Structure 1
Amino acid sequence: LDNPAERQDAVEAAEIAVEDATIAAEEVESALAHARSNELMARGPVESARSALNALETEKRTISRMLAAGALSGGFVPVAEMIRVDRGYEAALGAALGDDLETPVDESASAHWSINGDGASDPGLPEGALPLSSYVTAPPELARRLGQIGVIAQSDAERLMPLLRPGQRLVTREGAVYRWDGHVSGSEAPGAAALRLSQKNRLSELEGEIDEARDILSETEDALAQAGSAISIEEKRLAEARDRSRFAARQLSDARDALAAAERAAGDLTRRRDVVAEAVSQLTGQIEDLGVQEEDARIELEDAPDLSAIDAKLLNQQSVVATDRGRLAEARAAFEGQSREIEARKRRIAAIAQERATWVSRMTSAADHIGSLRQREEEARDEIVDLEAAPEEFDERRRALINELQKAEAARKAASDRLVEAETRQRETDRIAATALSELAEAREKRGRAEERLVSAAEKRHEGELRIREALNVEPHDVMRIAGIAPGATLPDIREIEREVDRLKMERERLGAVNLRAEEEQKELSDKLSALIHERDDIIDAIRKLRGAIQSLNREGRERMLAAFDVVNKQFQRLFTHLFNGGTAELQLIESDDPLEAGLEILARPPGKKPQTMTLLSGGEQALTAMALIFAVFLTNPAPICVLDEVDAPLDDHNVERYCNLMDEMAASTETRFIIITHNPITMARMNRLFGVTMAEQGVSQLVSVD
């Protein structure tokens, strides 16, 4: 039989184990949250390093494609590919050698470099000029050429230029060239050769930067992996701690169940023991009573007659009494057992309530932790969504700005239309107001005439009354009585009455009509005039606001147009210099100081020519200039697809090469797909994919793809 005290000790030990397991699980959860925070912090450097590496690799691929696209065809390697130039001297080398950098050293080429003596007899450079060969590592075929080119500062050019010997030249790091014969070339823009050398140097630098970026990415990824491993370890520890907590909880539940069973068993045993003790006590008393009764019965039996019937009845009553006493003892024992069981259940309920409060507290803390984790998860997701939608957002903002500009233009036009309408309404309102004023004046004149007639009639009436009083010496209302015309009497002759009526009508007509509503009409006209004046003031205020809005829109349009014009002009100047390998060009606003009403004029100065307008250029120069302007506008607002229809038709082969180089640069620097329609084999040779259109028979075209 289980001992309740031992079971109580087991329950207390299980409760301590559950509390320890809970504390351990909370510590592991805290460590797991810290590990996840470290892992989240480690992701930022990884993304930054990966982005930096991708940017460097993209730049490397772009420069590699540009270098590959700019290589000459024919199977000969240009000497520029064999040259290594110090950083910062690319422009000097490109300006000094120019297109000669594209010439190979292979003697089988029609134009090539060759070794022409050792140059021992060549004149030395002026003092203060270092040979370009000091900064350039090149094949021996270029030794004499590089030895006769001196690198100087811009400030020493005028001083050293007269000291040059025939064939010598000076060059600055910026690309300005000073020849022995007095020819000077400015450093306006780097040539294609200088750009190519600069790109080669940048490509070499990119290789080292890419290796360094890969090392940084590897280190950050290792740190991220370590953070992920720490999270896995903490998650495993958390699972183990939760398993131990659940196991301890099960042990506690089992111990409490065992304690309740032991308490119930102990209560049953105590109840049974009390019942047995009571029964023993009763039996002992009964035995003693029976002994006494037996002794008395023996004595009485000896003295009494046969009492067998009484004895049987007595035994029956004794049996009933013993049964009732046993039931009473069992009832008392059952009552005491139930009381003890009630106390045990109360203690169990108190323990359950305490345990429930503990679990509720843990559930609250767990809910708070889950809420914070979910909030962090939502923040991370929102940040990811924001980062993913950033390019689209920029594009949407650009399109929104364009739409706003279009809307502003439409609003300006609508405001101008409303202004015209408002001015028309104002003129109509002024006309109506003038008409109303004229009518008001006419009404006032009528009212004055009516008042004059009224005064005149009153005067005549007063004169008539005076005459009646003077002539008849009676009141005017007594004239009928004096005339002898009694009520109901025969009236005078009708003709006389009619003549009298005609006479009176004539007199009345001479008085004129009396306008009894003149004052009301004057009030209505005054109210109408006030309303018209109020409407005119509203229209004037609206016109003023519309003119202010139009001025604001025009001002903003001028600012945006000037900003866009400056960007296009810069791109046009750069592309013109790139296409012509020198020269200058610019866009000018003419015919008006207002950019919204001004015209556009192109001034171009190809290399070796004076500045002139587009109409004075040759056909090829006009085509290159127009191409520079079109691509300048295109770079300002690039489109996903660009179609060029026989743009290279008026160009010679050399300019077609420049055109193709520009197309390669545009394709590499933008995300635009270019569709080029051409008949030029040089342009077709530089395309990534060719589609030929043939006409096998009249009216039937066939598309042919050429890889």
Structure 2
Amino acid sequence: MKGFKSFADKVTVDFEPSITGIIGPNGSGKSNISDAIKWVLGEQSAKALRGSKMKDVIFAGSDDRRPKQVAEVTLTLDNKDRELDIDYDQVKIGRKVTKDGKSDYLLNGQRCRLKDIQELLLDTGIGKEAYSIIGQGKVEAVLNEGSADRRRLFEEAAGITKHKQRKEESEEKLADTQQKLQRIEDIISEIKRQVGPLEEEAEKAKQYKEYSSELEEHEVDLLLNKYADLETDLDQKIATKQDLSYKLTKVKSKVNEYDLKIDKEEEKLDDLIEEIDDLQDKLYQKRNQKQKLGNKIDLAEQRENNLAQQKDRLKSEVKRLKREVSTLQDEIKKSEEKKKEVTKDLKSKKEVLNNQQDQLAEIKEKLQEKNQRREEIRNNKLANINEINQYQNKLSNLEQNIEYYTHEVEELQEEEEELNKELTAKQEEKEEYETELSQLQKKFEEQQQNLKQKKEANEELTTEFNDLKDKYDELKDKLSRKKSKLKTLKDLEKSYSGYYRGVKKVLKYAQNSDNLPGVCGVVAELIEVPKKYETAIEVALGSILQNIVVEDNKVGQKAIDYLKRNNAGRATFLPLDLIDPRSLRSNEQQALNVEGAINVAEKLVDYESQYEDAIKNILGRIIVAQDMDSAVQISKAANKRVKVVTLEGEIVRPGGSMTGGSRNKNSNLLGRSRQIEELSSEVEDLNEQEENIKNKGFAKRKELEKLREEIEKLDEEVRQLDLEQTSLDKDYQQADNEVKRLKKELNKKQNKINTLEEKQDELKEQQQQVKQELESLTTGEDDLEGLINKLEKEINALQANKEELGNKITDTKVEIASLEQEQQSLAQEYKNKKMALKNKQEKITKEENNITKVKEKTKEIESKKEELIAEKKELKDKIVEAKKELDSLKENRTEVKKKISQYQQESKESRERRDKLQEKSNQNEVKLTEIKVNLENIEEKLKQEYEIEVYDLIEEREEIDNYQEVEKIIKDLKKKMKELEPVNLGAIEEYENLSKRLEFLEEQHTDLIEGRNSLQEVISEIENEMKEEFLTTFKEVKEEFETIFVDLFEGGQAKLKLEDENDLLETGIEINAQPPGKNLQKLSLMSGGEKALTATALIFALLKVNPSPFYVLDELDAPLDDANVNRFANYLQELAARAQFIVITHRKGTMRAVNTLYGITMQNSGVSQIVSLKLDEVVNY
């Protein structure tokens, strides 16, 4: 590791055989070792590595260490036993990631794909999703009900993960093949639609040619004689043609007349149908409306009942309220009398208070006047002082501003001079940019034209290249399908797919080890069977195909011991030193003479001579027959003592029992080698074609790349010129803007100078005015101070009188307050009772109003109900009328249909007359044409073939005695030719071309069908293999799990169960556990320690059934108590003989079980280091 998480520096960890322990305090980075192994094996989830994004695995730095830019991990595996399918004793798997997100995978130092590593590790128990790396999180995932992870563990143990992957790949290819098959079937269907009629035309053309040739042989003798007769017939046929033409025109006119009538009536019919549909829709709406009105009437009746109940309740409430009103009126009368007495006393006291308050008001008024006068004088004095200060400040500000404006004018004049100089320089710079910009524009336009020409050439070349690429892709697609099937078959052959588990184990053990020499192979590998006999031989042998041929019985015994020792299943062996050949007895030989008997099965297969006894033993007494009937006769002829198998796989067994029917072709062990050989040849041929097209494509691509480089270079030059032009234009604009800005700035400066000088003159005038005002304000300030002292003495005397009178008023107010309180109390009581009386009276009025409203509402509802009933009746009448109208329209529709039927019948009769006349006309036309053609043919034939002009000899012709016989022959031939007309002579060539295309497409179709069938067979084989291997593994794991659970828990019981035994490819796996002393319970209710120990039992069971080369247990023992930790450690030691364990732990019980121990420390902040420890050094850990 280097730069991975907390391991900043390069660290190498050697894991010894047996158990290696990794310990360290929390946060030291020990679990980073587990993360590193997961990561290098292809983990894609940053969350699974305890990060938020993948680059979080790179060392992030610490207080005294800078962050790393790269994280690298390399895992070295021992492959001397060739368990991994790669020819190296050591396999180094590496992974690297950089800060910029770049990631690489390495296999023995060479870059590769993640898929390559995943395929290499398939079914080994190693991988990011396999059961070789187990942590607390995975324990929970394994034990969760319906966990997909649990299913994946069993699949990995069963070795079907790679089958699953191949199945998915095959299904994708199958879908693609099906799509292509659909497309090509559509094309074939279209061509076949064209070929059928074209084939008939071609056959007609061929027949026509034959008749024509035969005709010419007889015709030459009669040409001159026939010519004269034909001229006479010609005149007659022309007259007939004119007569038929007149009659035909008349009948056609009649047909058209009827057609117009039919069209007119059909239009009427369409209108009627539309009216009927509209009326039916309206009728449906009215019925719905009627239904709704009925609902409204029901609702109105219900509301009438509710209002009647409400009216009775309101009348009762009014009576109760009137009784309460009478009682309140008596109480109010008593309160009024008491209130009058208190009011009289209060009035007397208030008169006394008013007199006192009048005197106090008079004093306050005088006091206010004196205070107000004093404040006015004080304010005048203060205002006078403020005004003097303001004028003094204003005078000072004016002097400062005059000085400031004088300084500003001087500075602006200096700036104006500098701006004039800068303006002259910028104007010169602008003129230089303008000249340079014109030259650059001209060069830009020239390069643009060159670029356009190059791009046009590129488009032409790209089209040529794409045509080649399409051809290449089509070929590559076909090659890919063939290669995929070939790879699948080779993988199936290599992995011994389809063979029993025990057979597979022995073959792999013999292949990868020198411990079992003398294994020759299975029967299916040792015989070669012609394709036509594959089904027969495979059915006849059945499971015997998987029997293993060995050199002698000792090899067989060693293999059986190996299977027992490793609990690896069963197998049947054929030792060559013990096996005896078998053959037909002399009295059974006659069965081979029965019709349909092909031969003894042993004679129909090829094999090497050293296996002769074994092959004769299994095939020497089996006869292959053509069909079931033959098989029965052969069995009888052999006294029912031999097995007979048909080519379709039906069997007649010794004794006479028969086996047959439909057969699912799930496995084809015999045909696999043949298919591999055939496919290899096809792939080799397709590879040559692919290479040829590829070379042409490469040449075209180089040419295209060269042109594109030129375009890219030109494009860059144009872009650069454009950028230069833009940049220069920008500089020019900036210079122009700067000139404008400077001119504007100069104008602003001048205006500002003028403004400042005017402002300066105004300020000087203001300065003189302020000085004059200041002098007038300084006089008369002392007079104001004397007036203020006099007023203060008068105010003090008035203040003493005011305080004395205030005390008297307070006493009077206390007496009044007491009386007012009593009065207020009585008034409140009176008011409350009045309010209560008013509320009661209002409530009575309200309830009486409510009664009135209820009566009105009842009348309103009754009125509405009557309206609804009337509306419903009216709607009912409308529905009746609509029905009548609908019936009337339907009657009209029936009448129109009758008329149409009548016109159609009359039109039909007219058409029949027209067709008969047309047929006569056609016949006459044919005869007329025939006469003309014959006349022309006679002339042409005599001229071309005999160099004779017909009129030169017509008058001197000789009569032929056998004229009628020859004429009959000619007539028959012409009639046959006429029956074939019209003839498309070009159809022969068209048919041949289309047939060739159809043949080519059907070949492609056949290839695709074979490809599809092959893929379906492969998928079927893979699924059956997956089911068989999964079920076998599940049973073995179930047995081991139940035993290990009892060992680890020292009692109790546990069961594994398939959720759906009928769906072995997708079924989940249930775990039912019952620790000692407890009832059977759901896993979710178990403690963390029980869960962990149950998961451990499951992992150990998987290990025993299909061991992984190594295991990483990341604090798996954390939730266990000490007793369980010790049992866990003991079992771990027992299993260490089978596999390598890397245990990350805190528990001493586990540490005692390890053979090698590493400690993880963090001496420097944020950086992990590894130290090797002795077991006695861990005691104090």
TM-score (norm 2): 0.21
TM-score (norm 1): 0.33
